[in-house]
A and B are shown apart, each in its own frame.
Chain A
Amino acid sequence: MVAYTTTITPASEKFFQLYLLGSTETAGNYYPNNSSSLQIGENVQWNLGLVNDMGSLQYVSIRVKLGGNQTIYSPNDTLAQPSPAPLITEFKHFILNNETWIVPFYWQIVNYTTTTKGQVLIHSLTIDNVTYVLENSPLCLEINSCSFRLIFELWTWNVESNNFQVGWANGDQQRIAWLQLWFNLTTNVNQH
């Protein structure tokens, strides 16, 4: 009996933990001067974290998307669906069981454009010193009410479909992990 119990591995729940910390690697100081109103060129430092509790090596991708105020939905937990927001970039990694993977995420808004109707959209962003020109960027009605959000979604490699799937399969169910942080775009005197 004792020999049997020492040789079997107990069944445990399989899951991931996705989290985002501020510049001081705590759940705070997410924005410069603790203000989520950002100007062009203002540096924001975050730290993305992922813990693998799946019981095995996993191939994961954290997708970064830019969401607008209301027009773009967040990921759907009930239906396990990703957000339709436009993809900016993704971070891929092979993560060991019980391993924590930290991704330093330094970003800033490079510039925005204003349409003929006065709507504002973010034209380009810099993430970890790489500039991304955004296509299909979400619009906001005017510069003084511009709320955007960065959405982080966890995708995992599905060996059956040979492709990434949103979240992970836990038995018959599909689970997802995602988070988002809001910010406002504001003008400064030197801008435009």
Chain B
Amino acid sequence: MIRASTLLVFSLSFVAIVLLSHSTSVASQSVNAQMQLSKVIQDAQAAELSGANSDEMRGLAVQLNTVLALQDELQNLPPQELGRRAQLSQQINATLTRVDMEANELATKASQRTSITHLVAYSSGVVGAVIVTVAYYYAALLQRRYRIKRTFEMKIIPKRTEA
């Protein structure tokens, strides 16, 4: 025969364990969400550093601000609306994952674009330098020829002395 007090202690322990595990789960979900957010921000900033332009970045910022609106809605929901809460959480996760993917794609695209821009800038620098050198060489050559030509065209005129 189980005593009533034993049953009570057992029931209370069970409730405590359930509550504790629930609160731990909520806290770890929150930490995970914060870490996910940090990763997305870091990836978006990396895309910007790689050379993503303001229009591309605006696209990411708009989606991230949508996440904030969803988080606000989630916070203001009553606890009993479990279905809507789950739906919103899923939407937030999906948006963050999509933004992260887009940021990584942008970073790759932007870094390729930046590499091409650098290549074009350095190549045009080299080509420009060669053109200037060649032009200077021919200009100097022409000037020398002109001076030689002028030298050979010179006439020697005896100097008149005044009486």
Contacts and interface: CB of A to CB of B under 8 A. Distances in A.
Contacts of A98: 54
Interface in A135-177: 157, 159-160, 162-163
Contact of A94 (B61, B118, B121, B122): B61
Contacts of B60: 57
A57 B57 contact: yes
Contacts of A93: 65, 68
Interface in A83-105: 92-98
Contacts of B101: none
B5 to A, nearest CB: 40
Contacts of B49: 56
A189 interface: no
Contacts of B31: 162
Interface stretch (B8-16, B39-47, B141-149): B39-47
B contact face: mostly helix, strand, loop, or mixed: helix
Interface in A52-68: 56-57, 59
Contacts of B58: 96
Interface of A: 1-4, 6-7, 56-57, 59, 92-98, 157, 159-160, 162-163
B24 interface: no
B121 A57 contact: no
28 contacts: A2-B125, A3-B122, A4-B122, A7-B118, A7-B122, A56-B48, A56-B49, A57-B41, A57-B48, A59-B41, A92-B68, A93-B65, A93-B68, A94-B64, A94-B65, A94-B68, A95-B61, A96-B57, A96-B58, A97-B48, A97-B57, A159-B39, A159-B41, A162-B34, A162-B35, A162-B37, A162-B38, A163-B34
B3 to A, nearest CB: 45
Contacts of B121: 3, 6-7
Interface in B19-43: 31, 34-35, 37-39, 41-42
A10 to B, nearest CB: 15
Interface of B: 31, 34-35, 37-39, 41-42, 44-45, 48-49, 54, 57-58, 60-61, 64-65, 68, 117-118, 121-122, 124-125, 128
B57 to A, nearest CB: 6
- B45, B54, B128 — which one has the most chain A CB atoms within 10 A of its CB? B45
Contacts of A57: 41, 44-45, 48, 57, 60-61
A100 B43 CA distance: 22
Given A56-B48, A159-B42, A163-B34, 16 more contacts: A2-B128, A3-B121, A3-B122, A7-B118, A7-B121, A57-B45, A57-B61, A93-B65, A93-B68, A94-B65, A94-B68, A96-B57, A96-B58, A96-B61, A97-B54, A97-B57
B102 to A, nearest CB: 13
In the A-B complex, the 5 residue pairs with the closest CB atoms:
A3-B125, A162-B34, A159-B38, A94-B64, A3-B121
Contacts of A162: 31, 34-35, 37-38
A158 to B, nearest CB: 8
B101 to A, nearest CB: 16
Contacts of B42: 159
